[in-house]
Amino acid sequence: MNGWQWSTAARVSDINEKTTFLNYAKRGASYDSEGGSRGINMAIGDVHARIRANPLMAATGLSDPDLLPGPRNAIEVDSPAGQPGAGYLWSSALKAGRSVRNYGFFVDLTRYDSELKQLHPNAAIAPVRYPRAAHLPVAYPTHEELITRTDPYFLGFDTRVPDYYRVQEWQSEFTEFEHNGKLPALSLVRLMMDHTGSFKETLDSVNTPELQIADNDYALGLLIEKVAHSRYAKDTLIVITEDDAQDGPDHVDSHRSPAFIVGPYTQLSGKVIARPYTTVNLLRTIEVVLGLAPNNARDTYAHPILEAFDIHQAHWDYTAEPSPLLYQTQLPLPKVPTLSSQPWQSLKPLHDADWWDQQTHEFDFSSEDKLDADRYNRILWLGTMGDAPYPQTP
C-alpha cells in the first residue's frame, strides 16, 4: 500500500502512511493508494458513470450522488504547486508535454474479486487470456490523468492470469507503435505474478510459486526482447523495480529489492557501485532521462543512478528464454528440440497445486497483501525449501 506511492510519486501522503498500518492489521481503513477510496473509483466523479464502470456500486448501495462526489482522492499525493492528485511520475511527464501510456497501473482492483459475483453477475471480470480478441475491457483507470492513457485490455492485479498474457497485450500495442512511429515517451507496465497465489484458479497450470515467478521472469524477458529487436532499441530505457520489499527475513536488509536498468548505454562491465540507492533514485533517473522536473523534495535531492551508464555502450541485445519449469504448464511456449534429452527434464516444483491450495485455502489472493504475510512467508519457505531451517528475522 505504501510501496505504490513510493514507486510512482517518490513520496507517500500523510494519510496513506497512517492508514497502511490499520489496513494491514485488518483494523479498518481501505487499500486506497492506487486511486480508489473506500472501494470507489475516484477517477470518475459522476455516480452514473461509476456504476457503468463498476456494476458493484449499485449492488452494494454505493449509488448516492453525494457519496464522495468529484474525481478527488484525499489519499493521493499532490503536485509541488498543490494541484490535487498530480504528484506522480506521469503527472510530471504530462506537464512537460511528454506522452504517456499505462498498462495496469492504478486500475479498479475490485473488478477482479471473484467473490463479488454473488452480489452482481457482471461485477467481477473473469480471467481471460486475450481480452482484446474478446473485445472485453478489463482495466478501468482510477486516476483522472490515466483515463484516456490506459490500455483497457491490459489486466491489472489478478493472480489467476499469467503475466505471459499481459505481455502479449502490451506487445500488440508496441507493434502498432512500431508501425506508426508514435511510441509514448513514458510507458508504465505492471507485471505482478511474482506476488503468487490463487493456485487452483490460475490459467494454464501456472499453479505453484515456482511456476508463477518463472512466468513473471519470462514475461519480463519477452518485454525486454521486444524492445531490443525493435526500431526503438537505440533510444529506449527500461527501468524495473519492485514495490514490495518491506517484508520477510534477509541476511542483509529486509527492505532491499532487486532493480534493473536495461537498454543502450548501460554499464556492462560488471562494475560494483558502493553507493546505496532507493526507489526514489530510480525515479530520479527516469526524470533526468526524460527531462522532467522533480515532484517533491525527495526526488529533487535524490542522486540519479549515473554510475549505471556508459556512453560507449550504445549497442545492446537480449533474447528471452523460458525457465525449463514452464514447460510443465500449458503456456504457448516456443518449441524446444529434443526436450526429453535435456538434463533438466526432471526439474519440477517441490509440491503441486493441491498442496499449495491446501496450505493457503484461508488466504485472500483477490488483491495485493490481503493475507497474513508472516504466515505466508513460512509456507513459501516450507513449500520451496523443505526441511531447511527458516531464517531468523534480523
The three state secondary structure string of the chain is: CHHHHHHHHCCCCHHHHHHHHHHHCCCCCCCCCCCEECCEECCCCCHHHHHHHCCHHHHCCCCCCCCCCCCCCCCCCCCCCCCCCCCCHHHHHHHCCCCEEEECCCECHHHHCHHHHHCCCCCCCCCCCCCCCCCCCCCCECCHHHHHHECCCCCCCCCCCCHHHHHHHHHHHHHHHHHHCCCCCEEEECCCHHHCCCCCCCHHHCCCHHHHHHHHHHHHHHHHHHHHCCCCHHHCCEEECCCCCCCCCCCCCCCCCCCEEECCCECCCCCCCCCCCCHHHHHHHHHHHHCCCCCCHHHHCCCCCHHHECCCCCCCCCCCCCCHHHHHCCCCCCCCCCHHHCCCCCCCCCCCHHHHHHHCCCCCCCCCCCCCHHHHHHHHHHHHHCCCCCCCCC
Q: Confidence class of residue 39 from pLDDT cuts 50, 70 and 90? A: confident
Q: Which pLDDT value is given to residue 344? A: 61
Alpha carbon distance 237, 242 (integer Å):
17
Q: Is the pLDDT of residue 388 over 80?
A: yes
Q: Of the segments 165-169, 372-376, 385-389, which one has the largest average pLDDT value?
A: 165-169
Q: How many CB atoms lie within 10 A of CB 17?
A: 15
What's the first-to-final CA gap in the chain, in angstroms? 23
Alpha carbon distance 117, 363 (integer Å):
18
Q: Confidence class of residue 25 from pLDDT cuts 50, 70 and 90? A: confident
33's torsion region: left (phi>0), alpha (psi -120 to 50) or beta? alpha
Q: Which pLDDT value is given to residue 252? A: 74
Q: Is the pLDDT of residue 367 over 90?
A: no
What percent of the chain is predicted at pLDDT more than 90?
66
Triad 125, 131, 133: Cα angle to 5°: 145
Of 10 and 111, more confident: 10
pTM summary value: 0.94
Q: Confidence class of residue 148 from pLDDT cuts 50, 70 and 90? A: very high
**How much is the mean pLDDT over the chain?**
90
Query: CB of 347 within 8 A of CB of 326?
Result: no
Query: How does pLDDT run across 206-226, given as a tens digit for each residue?
Result: 999 999 999 999 999 999 999
Q: Which pLDDT value is given to residue 392? A: 77
Of 282 and 374, more confident: 282
Q: Which pLDDT value is given to residue 86? A: 94
Query: CB of 21 within 8 A of CB of 12?
Result: no
Stretch 113-118: mean pLDDT: 71
Q: Is the pLDDT of residue 88 over 60?
A: yes
Q: Which pLDDT value is given to residue 347? A: 78
Stretch 20-45: mean pLDDT: 87
Which phi and psi (to 5°) does residue 267 adopt?
A: -75, 125
Cα dist from 155 to 131, 138, 207, 238, whole Å: 8, 6, 18, 20
Supply the CATH classification number for the domain 77-385. Answer: 3.40.720
Triad 163, 242, 370: Cα angle to 5°: 75
Q: Is the pLDDT of residue 338 over 60?
A: no
Of the ranges 78-82, 151-155, 170-174, which one carries the lowest mean pLDDT score? 78-82
**105-124 burial: b if 16+ Cβ within 10 Å, else e:** bbbbbbbbbbebeeeeeebb
Q: Where are the domains of the chain?
A: 77-385
Stretch 349-371: mean pLDDT: 92
